[in-house]
């Protein structure tokens, strides 16, 4: 027996609400046949023993204890370094319920395929049972799950990313319901790798990968794919959004939720540091979360949001003192790094960090500069507690969540789309989110610079048909609702010389300030068919210099270009067939007519 092994919690299964959990664990054990079973309690002693075990077998490598105390490096298998969307399925009885936005498989086929892979896969290994809570442990907005895995690396990461252990098990016992997640690293064979979701059964099965998004089942699998389905059923929203608080010099804080596809500066915005002039005036930015947002209408008609995660699973490359000083401070201790390079004195390193030279690449080989390949994997990561962030907000633990004043959608568009515009109402805002597009970057597979639509940044993560998802969003506009204003931003507009026209980073606060002043009725705007755009004088641009081209493109409106854009949006919406809500079609047609 493994020295960590212990029996299931001492409960009378016949009378306990844990009966269903105990029965499922026994069923999984019979299928996977582990050498031992360990129920995780989330304690420091348990974590210390797991870390020691992983150091001994090489799963974790201790980093420089002076510069990065209690921090470790993990190296993935080279074929297991990212999410695998083409191997990710949503299993619903009817294919239309999964929608054209998901790969689909009938539930019976999905279970049969996965159970054949799981058969005997944990022989010689320990089976870990991880009870966890997504969100503050006592929040009515939170939801619990249990992940069964044979990876101690997953246990260590889930302890950081969720509220894991005894308190979560106690809540599961009280409520009697939980999302079931079964995971095994298997043989790490790309040909035997699948991630299956069964929304109607609140079940996830993942085999053949140890990578974060495929293996930390509380993250994208539960908190987005399964939770989006739960949210539709229960009247709330599970979204791929950061949450930040913007405090003005008067001490008033407004909360903003924002959705961006990958490589569009989500974590940077969540941890934004105001420009010097704003800091002197007393402006502050508070970080609630950098990736996932669950929102529910409150008794007062406003939307209240929690961050269901307890940590950050952030992309390392590009994180620097210039781009995100708060993130850099966050990961100086008690951090798990995955697939980064290391320097000669065993410090973590990645491209964009600083001018030092790496000694060992992410595969564990001496770094060869002559090959011109990155030393750190482009998708290398850090896992760290959110509480270590200098801008972390105590409100992140508020059981009721924070009231959302504004929802922001954004993408990477070199042309056409101005710096910021405001939707005229909720239906228009839902269309803005549904039509949102971004140009692909080197971080994505395929051609670079291709514009792809990624509704609400949920394309890889919505657990059901996008047409039904848009209908669900529209359903929140009802009598008594006090919904957030919706905006769209584009930090990435370029000039004719190919350079960015907007400075970005901390200066993005200038745009957030305008949004909040639109919410409170203190800022002006010009009405256009695509929405309300600020005049240059409506934004605080003190200290910034704009030429005529920058003014025209950041604050202007290209009618012919938008006419073509809305024709494209109409074709995109038509692709979802008769389930597409008529209100969204009407909104697209209304704007098209105005543009004509």
Known catalytic residues?
A: 264
Nearest of 334, 478, 463, 483 to residue 403 by alpha carbon: 483
User: Is residue 435 within 8 Å of residue 585, measured between CB atoms?
Assistant: no
CA distance 582 to 467: 10
CB-based contact 323:395 (threshold 8 Å)? no
Beta-bridged to residue 36, according to DSSP, are 126
Contact assessment for residue 193 and residue 87, using Cβ atoms and an 8 Å cutoff: yes
Q: What does the angle CA 134 – CA 407 – CA 238 come to, to the nearest 5 degrees?
A: 25
Q: Are 366 and 360 in contact (CB under 8 A)?
A: yes
Three-state SS sequence of 364-433: CCECCHHHCCCCCCCCCEEEEEHHHCCCECHHHHCCCCEEEEEEEEECCCCCCCCCEEECCCHHHHHHHH
| Residue of 208, 141, 210, 205 whose CA lies nearest to 179 | 205
Query: β-strand 341-342 against 348-349: which pairing, if any?
Result: antiparallel
CB neighbourhood size of 326 (10 A) = 19
């Amino acid at each position: 027996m493994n020295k960590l092994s212990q029996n299931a919690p001492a409960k009378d299964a016949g009378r306990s609400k844990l009966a269903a959990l105990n029965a499922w664990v026994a069923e999984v054990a019979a299928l996977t046949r582990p050498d031992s079973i360990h129920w995780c309690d989330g304690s420091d002693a348990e974590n210390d023993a797991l870390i020691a075990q992983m150091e001994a077998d090489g799963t974790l490598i201790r980093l420089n204890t002076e510069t990065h105390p209690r921090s470790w490096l993990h190296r993935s298998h080279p074929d297991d370094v990212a999410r695998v969307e083409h191997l990710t399925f949503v299993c619903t009885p009817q294919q239309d319920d999964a929608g054209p936005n998901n790969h689909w498989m009938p539930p019976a086929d999905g279970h049969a395929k996965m159970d054949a892979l799981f058969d005997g896969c944990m022989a010689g290994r320990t089976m870990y049972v991880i009870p966890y809570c997504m969100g503050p442990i006592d929040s009515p907005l939170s939801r619990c799950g249990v992940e069964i895995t044979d990876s101690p690396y997953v246990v260590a990461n889930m302890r950081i990313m969720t509220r894991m252990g005894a308190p979560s098990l106690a809540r599961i016992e009280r409520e009697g319901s939980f999302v079931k997640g079964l995971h095994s690293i298997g043989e790490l064979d790309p040909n035997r790798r699948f991630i299956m979701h069964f929304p109607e059964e609140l079940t996830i099965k993942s085999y053949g990968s140890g990578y974060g998004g495929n293996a930390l089942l509380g993250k994208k699998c539960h908190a987005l794919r399964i939770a989006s389905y739960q949210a539709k059923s229960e009247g709330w929203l599970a979204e791929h959004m950061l949450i930040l608080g913007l405090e003005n010099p008067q001490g008033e804080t407004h909360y903003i939720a924002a959705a961006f596809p990958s490589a569009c500066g989500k974590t940077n915005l969540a941890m934004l540091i105001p420009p010097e002039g704003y800091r002197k005036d007393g402006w502050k930015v508070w970080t609630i979360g950098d990736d996932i947002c669950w929102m529910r209408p409150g008794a007062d008609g406003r939307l209240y949001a929690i961050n269901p995660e307890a940590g950050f699973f952030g992309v390392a490359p590009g994180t620097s003192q210039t781009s995100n000083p708060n993130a850099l401070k966050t990961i100086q201790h008690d951090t798990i790094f995955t697939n980064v390079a290391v320097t000669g004195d065993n410090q973590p390193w990645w491209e964009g960090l600083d001018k030092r030279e790496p000694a060992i690449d992410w595969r564990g080989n001496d770094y060869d500069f002559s090959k011109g390949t990155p030393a750190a994997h482009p998708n290398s990561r850090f896992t760290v507690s959110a509480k270590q962030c200098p801008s972390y907000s105590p409100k992140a633990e508020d059981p009721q969540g924070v009231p959302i004043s504004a929802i922001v959608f954004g993408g990477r568009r070199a042309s056409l789309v101005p710096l910021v515009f405001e939707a005229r109402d909720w239906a228009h805002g839902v269309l803005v989110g549904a039509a949102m597009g971004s140009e692909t970057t080197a971080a994505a597979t395929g051609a670079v610079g291709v514009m792809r639509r990624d509704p609400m940044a949920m394309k890889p993560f919505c657990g059901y048909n996008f047409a039904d998802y848009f209908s669900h969003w529209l359903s929140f506009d009802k009598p008594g609702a006090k919904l957030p204003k919706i905006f769209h931003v584009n930090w990435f507009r370029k000039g004719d010389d190919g350079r960015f026209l907007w400075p970005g980073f901390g200066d993005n606060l200038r745009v957030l300030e305008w949004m909040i002043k639109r919410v409170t009725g203190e800022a002006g705007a010009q009405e256009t068919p695509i929405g309300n755009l600020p005049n240059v004088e409506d934004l605080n641009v003190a200290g910034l210099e704009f030429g005529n081209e920058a003014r025209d493109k950041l604050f202007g409106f290209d009618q012919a270009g938008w006419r073509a854009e809305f024709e494209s949006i109409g074709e995109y919406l038509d692709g979802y067939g008769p389930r597409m809500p008529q209100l969204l079609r009407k909104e697209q047609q209304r704007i098209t007519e105005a543009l004509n």
